[in-house]
Structures are given as structure tokens and as C-alpha cells.
Amino acid sequence: MSEENAPVFENVLEKLEDLVQRLETGGLSLDEALKLYEEGIALTRVGNQLLEGVERRIIELQKDNEQTKS
């Protein structure tokens, strides 16, 4: 249930890698190359965004159950 809302990092990295390889293999028109490049820049940005933030976030769940016995 968590997959569809956010981009998964693996996919971002995989796409980026694939794209760079296509750029490096060559045989693309300048138009195509520029399009791939733009896409790559966008992916880079998304990847970096996924790695952003440094605050330690801990959420401790509350059990609304009665049985809390130790």
C-alpha cells in the first residue's frame, strides 16, 4: 500500500543508470540526447530529494489495546 505514492529509490537509480548508458552508447540524435539528459537531471534531483533530511524522526506507536502487561 505504500508503493504507488512515492517514487522508489531503486527505480530512480535504475532508470538513471540505464539512461546514462544509453547516452554513452551514442547513436542518438542531439534532440534525443538532450531529452535524455533533461530526464536524467530530473531523476538526479528526485534521488537526492529521497536522501535529504537529517532530523532523527522516531514515532512511538500507542497501543489502544487494553492488554498491556509485562
Partner 1 sequence: MAVDSPNQTLSVTEFNTRVKSVLEGTLRYVRVEGELSQINQHGSGHVYLTLKDPNSRLQGVVWKSVAQRLRYKPNIGEQVVVYGSISVYVPHGSYKLVINSIEPAGLGARQAAFEALKAKLLKEGLFESENKRDIPLLPRGVGVITSPTGAARRDIESVIFRRSPQVKIVLYPAIVQGAAAASDLVLGLQMMNQRSDIDLIIIGRGGGSIEDLWAFNEERVARAIAKSTLPVISAVGHETDTTISDMVADRRAPTPSVAGEVAVPVRDDLLYTISLLSDRMNRNLEHRLERNRSQLENYALRIENQIDISGRHQRFESIQRHLDRLLAQHIQKNRQRLHDLEIRVRHQAPHVRAGRSREALTAVSMRLRHAGNLSLDRGRSDLKMLAARLSALSPLSVLERGFSVARKDHAVIRSHTQVEVGDEISILLHEGSIGAKVCDKSQDRSLELASQEVSS
Contacting positions for partner 1 (CB under 8 A): 1-2, 5-6, 8-10, 13, 16-17, 19-20, 23-24, 30, 33-34, 37, 40-41, 44, 47-48, 50-61, 63, 65, 67-70
The b-or-e profile of 15-43 (16+ CB within 10 A means b, else e) is bbeeeeeeeeeeeeeeeeeeebeeebeeb
What is the nearest approach in angstroms of partner 1 to the Cβ of residue 32?
A: 11
What is the nearest approach in angstroms of partner 1 to the Cβ of residue 47?
A: 5
What is the nearest approach in angstroms of partner 1 to the Cβ of residue 45?
A: 10
Distance CA 23, CA 16 (A): 11
